[in-house]
Amino acid sequence: MTGFLGQAYIWVLILHILSIITWMAGLFYLPRLFVYHAQANPTGEPAETFKVMERRLLKAIMNPSMIVAWVLGLALALHIGAFTQGWFHGKLLLVVIMSALHMAMGKWRKDFEAGQNKHGHKFYRIINEVPTVTLILVVILVKAKPF
């Protein structure tokens, strides 16, 4: 590769992939925690444990992973000139959707923490599928480059 990253390209790519893995793990796991939290007694000990788990997952793993994935992903896109390619536009749209879902999960976590959850466990079960479908589409776009 002859882009601005030079020899660092492979290491930036590796770090990008690792940050995506940790971000996606959080996007898969947090809604599952919400399912169990929505089923728990809101004033019981399990609910308090879920609050701690959800906060730590979001703040210590998901938020930093998303930021690193975005920064390194944009650097890689600049390096390979992806901004002019159709597949990248599709990928970028899907990553924006995942980021919006991430932010929605942050709001739902705050709602749980305040004792103001507005959704039932079935809602979170459905939401739990969105990151999977989105990830599949992103991988297809990146590897197959259909347009």
* Residue in 116, 129, 113 with CA at minimum distance from that of residue 31: 129
Give the C-alpha separation, 19 to 43, whole Å: 35
Residue type, 89: H
91 has binding-site annotation: yes
Structure tokens at 78: 């600049």
Asked whether residue 16 is marked as a ligand-binding residue, the answer is: yes
Q: Which long-range contacts (CB under 8 A, 24 or more apart) does 100-108 make?
A: 101/27, 101/127, 101/130, 101/131, 101/134, 102/23, 102/27, 102/62, 102/66, 105/27, 105/30, 105/31, 105/34, 105/58, 105/62, 106/58, 108/34
Task: Return the residue matching tokens 């930036």.
Answer: 12
Tell me, what DSSP letter sits at residue 81?
Answer: T
**Residue ranges of the binding site:** 16, 91
**Residue ranges of the binding site for heme:** 16, 91
